Amino acid sequence: MERLEQYLDKEFVLKSGRLLYFNGVHYNNNTLTDKIARAAVKKYPSLENKFINERERRVLEVKLEGRKANIQAQDAVKDEAVEKRVALLIEAGDLESAEKEAGKILSEETREEFLGKIAKAVEKAEKAAKKEEKKEEAKPQTEEEKVAEEEKKKKEAEAKEAEREAGLKPAYKGKRTKVQKTVEGLIELGKFDEAKIEASKLHAPDTAPLVKLIEEAEAKAKEKPE
């Protein structure tokens, strides 16, 4: 049976099962517009009997309100179950699942309320995590932790150096060996400045240990009595 309530936004609503024939065209409530209905009634006043009157319209409006209230009541029951699940998820700290579940709440106002609660919970969790992180950073390291950290850094440096070494060309490796021998010879002769110049011909990672070697030899030479 046709539900006339869905057409109550129109001024002219055909009674159930009625059609309007006007200017060679049949119209039902889906195809009929107020403009066409108004023109038809104006031309043929008797056609007005095909449309619902004010009393019938009021009855339909009451039915519509009742149907809306029934739908709202059903939605409220559904929302209540979802709200409980969302609240439990927030309490458990599963905020991602809580946000997904909150999206199922039918009432826009309630949905926004719960999404706001989740946003606050996320902010609170982030602040707590940062606080804990700072607390952990401020905590003094034990001797074992210091040794472990040093060992970790050493391994990372060795891995990095091994990777660099693997990428060096044979020609550079030959040059490096030659420079290292030249630097050692200059150190023995006490020509420290020349040794530093020679060491600078290599890449920075290879130059640094040679410069350190030169500086140590130079310091020892200064300590010797003349």
Taking only the tens place, the pLDDT of each residue in 71-101 is 666 766 677 887 888 888 888 788 888 888 8
Using the structure block, give the residue that is written with the tokens 């001024």: 11
With a cut of 80, say whether residue 5 has pLDDT above it: no
DSSP-derived pairing of the beta strands 20-22 and 25-27: antiparallel
pLDDT of residue 24: 93
Write the single-letter amino acid at 214. Answer: I
- Please compute the mean of the pLDDT values over residues 9-36 and round it to a whole number: 92
**The whole model's pTM is what?**
0.34
pLDDT of residue 1: 39
Distances (CA, A) of 96 to 22, 93, 127: 59, 9, 17
Contact 30, 54 (CB under 8 A): no
Strand ranges (E), the chain: 20-22, 25-27
How long, in residues, is the chain?
Answer: 226
Cα–Cα distance, 20 to 28 (Å, whole number): 7
Q: Which residues, 6 or more positions from 130, have their beta carbon under 8 angstroms from its beta carbon?
A: none
Contact 102, 122 (CB under 8 A): no
Beta bridge partners of residue 21, listed in sequence order: 26
| Pick from 104, 9, 15: nearest CA to 52 | 15
Contact 8, 57 (CB under 8 A): yes
What is the Cα 10 distance to its own chain's centre? 46
